[in-house]
């Protein structure tokens, strides 16, 4: 087996606060291969963005990775000095954040920003960098790229700005792209274009993509595997078809049922009662137990780790072999 | 047929987005008007949910604000039980009518006053209309909070002590306080994640059944609209492109724009159906295309589409504003 592009092992992210230590990401392990898209879903506050930030070494202090390891092509990166990590980030990891305006500088033209970023990471002349920048804008579907490149960000519509951000993230041909809700603020029509760009990137350049989103439709469309997070932990991770059409973890089941569909005539949506616990008040045992209709004795005492089950890993005592035997 | 509960007739509104007067004089520019809503008509029957879908900037929120009276139309009118709302906006009768309308906004964070107790927020419409005594009011607030799945004790808390979904419940309780018949919901769940959204959508349906409410439901999410609506209006650049009942819109769609929107929705069923790429983007409303506003993006556009504006016409159960539909050209494509 070849080494995965990204491999995260037992990563835990903690924030010391006055009221004790908050664990925002709790013992999370997964990997992404070249050309593969891993979708990450879960309720707001589940730790999706934090997992992404931790991988690229951008956690707001005093937060830190308190245990676990992160590998890029088999090389450990969570212990790299800040300066080295900064270079890895620009050269090997591309990032796309939800709000395109935060990643673009309003004072510079798109050309200036793209060319500068390209030249920081690749040994190209200004003219060649500009050529590359125009090609990238073309790739992400900006019409008339050679003319539009000299515009300022505010002269683009929201969807086009998001495409510029994607071009910026792809400047240096990254091996790994972490995209945090790249399409959430966009209309379906624009969203569809962005999805196509990302698909192409994966297929043609063999990039590994970690795609964080609330939109299950987007996941179904481009992800190969999906990770479901709940209260900072992995609840379930596996092939997208399995997880979507045959969810194993009770939380995933609830999540899937709560999505209205274009095809279904259901009068009511399935709803998960209650809400996710606050990080300061995670119950003992399985963090989902107060909302779980399958919960039994063991769920209130022991915390389940993700265990292999039917091509995936599921953190739920229902799928523990010993449990099944008894 | 009985009178619809709400009728919107030829509603238009323009915003003045010109530079300041002095700049215009100095630079010799004309006034610039943005026509956000352009000759829109539809009606909503009692007890039904009418949805408006459309891309960002198509004018959905502007229609909502026109209906609840937060904005005056440039032309056209809104009728409630046959009575014109713009004719008699002043006076006691209009106030009484207004009381029967409520609005729920997209952002449950911005629409609640952070310094008020939840009980005072929910009671606000009661106070404005001065009907109940203090004690009656407290009881009513308790009932309303229970109705939306909170507890009467929550009244003593402040909005920041609640999650996004709970805040939207508070906003719904406030909207219900005035005993409205009709609620305008502008993207009520867009700021919430799917599991919380399911709770709120179920609640809204239950309340509709229990209280006989009529909803105008605005959203850009087609699956949500499909779940909630009896009838759907598809808005494009301030114009109604199509009005159909929810079932037929998704089965037998007429307008090329509706078709494009539906084809762009990612497919959760994973049937492997290829998604069609979307052509172009919504044009600037400052300089809308002539003829049919959809023509620059429409695969069926021809010369007539570029000059003559299509009007809504009835085809079977569906209203559509499209020359190709009228000419039967859409079926060939
Ligand atoms: N600087 C911080 N200090 C303390 N806690 C934080 C900080 N930033 C985030 N958190 C907490 O970490 C948890 C995970 O947050 P994260 O942003 O990863 O959620 P998410 O899954 O991305 O949610 P969303 O879908 O809303 O974006 C949250 O409970 C959040 O309140
Ligand atoms: N007060 C205003 N002054 C000038 N232009 C306005 C004003 N309010 C709205 N507009 C413009 O009118 C058009 C319609 O806006 P509206 O807010 O109704 O769109 P929408 O369909 O609700 O979009 P979204 O999905 O983004 O909420 C937009 O082009 C907007 O820029
Ligand atoms: S471990 Fe128990 S409480 Fe947790 S999801 Fe499984 S059944 Fe439910
Ligand atoms: S009128 Fe013409 S341009 Fe407009 S939607 Fe119909 S076919 Fe397309
Ligand atoms: Mg996030
Ligand atoms: Mg709006």
What tokens does A162 get? Answer: 């998001």
User: Which residues, at least 6 apart from A168, have a Cβ–Cβ distance to it below 8 Å?
Assistant: A94, A103, A104, A113, A114, A117
Q: Rounded to an integer, what distance in angstroms lies between the CA atom of residue A114 and that of residue A297?
A: 57
Of A202 and B238, the structure prediction assigns the larger pLDDT to B238
Q: For the ranges A266-280, B79-93, B248-262, which has the lowest average pLDDT?
A: B79-93
Q: Quick one: pLDDT at residue B50?
A: 97
Q: Which atom of ligand 2 is nearest to the CA of B62?
A: 18
**Residue of chain B whose alpha carbon sits nearest to that of A157:** B281
**Residue of chain B whose alpha carbon sits nearest to that of A219:** B268
Class of the CATH domain delimited by A6-92+172-261+268-325: alpha beta
Whose CA is closest to A285, among A313, A304, A307? A304
What tokens does A142 get? Answer: 């900006």
Q: Would you kindly state where each structural domain of chain A is located, as residue ranges?
A: 6-92+172-261+268-325
Report chain A's terminal Cα–Cα distance, integer Å.
36
Contact B205/A at CB under 8 A:
yes
Alpha-helical segments (H) within chain A: 48-55, 82-91, 100-103, 110-121, 126-139, 145-148, 158-170, 188-205, 216-222, 240-245, 250-257, 321-325
B195 and A220: CB-CB below 8 Å?
A: no
Task: Specify whether the CB–CB gap between B96 and B131 falls below 8 A.
Answer: no
Q: Quick one: pLDDT at residue A89?
A: 87
Q: Quick one: pLDDT at residue A263?
A: 72
Whose CA is closest to A170, among A205, A126, A145, A213? A205
Q: What angle do CA A96, A99, A100 make, to 5 degrees?
A: 70
Among B106, B163, B198, the strongest candidate for a mutation testing the A interface, having the largest count of A CBs within 10 A, is: B198
Q: Quick one: pLDDT at residue B330?
A: 81
Q: Rounded to an integer, what distance in angstroms lies between the CA atom of residue A234 and that of residue A46?
A: 9
Q: Nearest CB to A192: which of B205, B250, B277?
A: B277
pTM: 0.84
**Residue of chain B whose alpha carbon sits nearest to that of A44:** B193
Question: Quick one: B184 exposed, middle or buried, by C-beta within 10 A (0-12, 13-18, 19+)?
Answer: buried
Task: Please check the confidence at residue B333 and state whether its pLDDT lies above 60.
Answer: no
Mean pLDDT of B253-275: 75
What tokens does A260 get? Answer: 């209205």
With a cut of 70, which residues of chain A have pLDDT below it? 1, 98-102, 185, 322-326
A262 and B277: CB-CB below 8 Å?
A: no
Ligand 2 contact, B166 CB (< 6 A)? no
Task: Please check the confidence at residue B128 and state whether its pLDDT lies above 70.
Answer: no
Q: Nearest CB to B195: which of A189, A244, A254?
A: A254
Among B59, B60, B195, B257, the strongest candidate for a mutation testing the A interface, having the largest count of A CBs within 10 A, is: B195
Whose CA is closest to B43, among B69, B74, B81, B72? B81
User: What are the tens digits of pLDDT across the range A145-204?
Assistant: 888 899 888 887 777 788 888 888 888 889 999 998 887 767 777 777 777 788 887 888
Strand A93-96 with A176-180, pairing? parallel
Ligand 1 contact, A48 CB (< 6 A)? yes
For tokens 């045992």, what's the residue?
A285
Whose CA is closest to B292, among B326, B268, B266, B261? B326
Q: Nearest CB to A263: which of B198, B221, B269?
A: B269
Question: At B112, is the pLDDT very low, low, confident or very high (cuts 50, 70, 90)?
Answer: confident
Task: Please check the confidence at residue B26 and state whether its pLDDT lies above 90.
Answer: no
Enumerate the CATH 3.40.50.300 domain ranges in chain B, comma separated: 6-257
- Biggest alpha carbon distance in chain A? 70
Ligand 2 contact, B34 CB (< 6 A)? yes
If one residue of A316, A319, A320 were mutated to test the ligand 3 pocket, choosing by the most ligand atoms within 8 A of its CB, it would be A316
Q: What angle do CA B193, B147, A42 make, to 5 degrees?
A: 15
What tokens does B292 get? Answer: 């049919």
Q: Rounded to an integer, what distance in angstroms lies between the CA atom of residue B95 and that of residue B72?
A: 16
For tokens 């078709």, what's the residue?
B259
Task: Please check the confidence at residue B30 and state whether its pLDDT lies above 90.
Answer: no
Mean pLDDT of B199-219: 92
Q: How far is CA A98 from the centre of its chain?
A: 11
A220 and B270: CB-CB below 8 Å?
A: yes
Mean pLDDT of B197-222: 91
What tokens does A275 get? Answer: 């809400």
Ligand 1 contact, A182 CB (< 6 A)? no
B235 phi and psi angles, rounded to 5 deg: -105, 135
Question: Quick one: B156 exposed, middle or buried, by C-beta within 10 A (0-12, 13-18, 19+)?
Answer: exposed
Contact B269/A at CB under 8 A:
yes
Contact B227/A at CB under 8 A:
yes
Report the pocket of ligand 4 as residue ranges, CB < 6 Å. Answer: B 256, 292, 294-295, 298, 300-301, 305, 310, 322-324
What tokens does B281 get? Answer: 């983007």
Question: At B271, is the pLDDT very low, low, confident or very high (cuts 50, 70, 90)?
Answer: low
**Domain topology for B6-257:** Rossmann fold (3.40.50)
Q: Which atom of ligand 4 is nearest to the CA of B305?
A: 2
Task: Please check the confidence at residue B272 and state whether its pLDDT lies above 90.
Answer: no
Side-by-side strand order, sheet with B75-80: B33-44, B6-16, B75-80, B83-84
Q: Is B320 helix (H, G, I), strand (E, B) or coil?
A: strand
What tokens does A71 get? Answer: 């590998």
For residue B222, list chain A residues with Cβ-Cβ distance below 8 A.
Answer: 188, 262
């Amino acid at each position: 087996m070849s080494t995965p592009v990204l491999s995260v092992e037992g990563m835990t992210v903690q924030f010391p606060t006055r009221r004790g230590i908050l664990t925002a990401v709790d013992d999370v392990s997964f990997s992404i291969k070249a050309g593969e898209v891993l979708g990450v879903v879960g309720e707001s506050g589940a730790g999706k963005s934090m997992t992404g930030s931790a991988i690229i070494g951008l956690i707001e202090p005093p937060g830190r990775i308190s245990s676990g390891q992160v590998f890029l092509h088999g090389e450990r990166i969570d212990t790299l000095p800040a300066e080295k990590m900064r270079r890895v980030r620009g050269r090997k990891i591309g990032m796309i954040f939800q709000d395109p305006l935060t990643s673009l500088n309003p004072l510079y033209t798109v050309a200036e920003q793209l060319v500068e970023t390209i030249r920081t990471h690749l040994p190209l002349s200004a003219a060649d960098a500009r050529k590359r920048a125009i090609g990238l804008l073309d790739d992400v579907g900006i019409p008339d790229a050679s003319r539009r490149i000299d515009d300022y960000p505010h002269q683009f519509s929201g969807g086009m700005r998001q495409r510029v951000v994607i071009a910026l993230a792809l400047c240096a041909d990254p091996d790994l792209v972490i995209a945090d809700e790249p399409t959430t603020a966009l209309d379906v029509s624009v969203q569809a274009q962005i999805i196509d760009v990302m698909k192409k990137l994966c297929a043609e350049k063999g990039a590994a993509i970690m795609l964080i989103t609330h939109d299950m439709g987007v996941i179904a469309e481009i992800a190969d595997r999906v990770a479901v997070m709940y209260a900072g932990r992995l609840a379930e991770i596996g092939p997208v078809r399995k997880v979507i059409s045959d969810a194993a973890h009770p939380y995933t089941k609830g999540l899937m049922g709560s999505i209205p569909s274009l095809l279904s005539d259901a009068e009511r949506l399935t709803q998960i009662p209650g809400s996710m616990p606050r990080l300061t008040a995670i119950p003992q045992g399985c963090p989902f137990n107060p909302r779980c209709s399958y919960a039994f004795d063991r769920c209130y005492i022991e915390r389940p780790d993700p265990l292999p089950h039917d091509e995936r890993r599921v953190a739920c005592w229902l799928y523990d072999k010993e449990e099944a035997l008894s | 047929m009985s009178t619809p509960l709400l009728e919107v007739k030829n509603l238009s509104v323009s915003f003045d987005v010109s530079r300041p007067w002095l700049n215009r004089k100095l630079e010799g520019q004309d006034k610039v008007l943005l026509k956000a809503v352009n000759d829109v008509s539809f009606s909503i029957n009692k007890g039904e949910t009418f949805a408006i879908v459309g891309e960002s900037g198509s004018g959905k929120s502007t229609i909502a604000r026109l209906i609840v009276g937060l904005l005056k139309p440039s032309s056209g009118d809104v009728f409630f039980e046959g009575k014109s709302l713009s004719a008699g906006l002043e006076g006691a009768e209009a106030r009484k009518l207004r009381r029967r309308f409520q609005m729920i906004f997209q952002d449950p964070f911005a629409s609640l006053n952070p310094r008020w107790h939840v009980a005072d927020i929910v009671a606000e419409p009661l106070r404005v209309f001065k009907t109940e005594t203090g004690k009656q009011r407290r009881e009513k607030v308790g009932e309303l909070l229970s109705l939306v799945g909170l507890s009467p004790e929550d009244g003593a808390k402040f909005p920041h002590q609640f999650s996004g979904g709970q805040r939207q419940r508070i906003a719904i309780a406030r909207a219900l306080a005035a005993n409205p018949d009709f609620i305008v919901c502008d993207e009520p769940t867009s700021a919430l994640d799917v599991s919380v959204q399911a709770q709120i959508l179920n609640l809204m349906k239950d309340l509709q059944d229990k209280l006989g409410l009529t909803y105008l439901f605005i959203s850009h999410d087609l699956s949500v609209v499909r779940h909630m609506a009896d009838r759907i209006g598809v808005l494009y650049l301030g114009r109604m492109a199509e009005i159909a009942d929810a079932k037929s819109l998704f089965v037998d769609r007429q307008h090329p724009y509706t078709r494009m929107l539906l084809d762009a929705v990612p497919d959760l069923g994973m049937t492997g159906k290829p998604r069609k790429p979307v052509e172009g983007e919504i044009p600037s409303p400052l300089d809308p295309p002539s003829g049919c506003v959809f023509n620059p993006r429409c695969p069926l556009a021809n010369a007539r589409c570029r000059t003559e504006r299509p009007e809504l016409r009835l085809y079977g159960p569906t209203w559509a504003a499209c020359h190709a539909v009228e000419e039967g050209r859409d079926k060939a494509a």
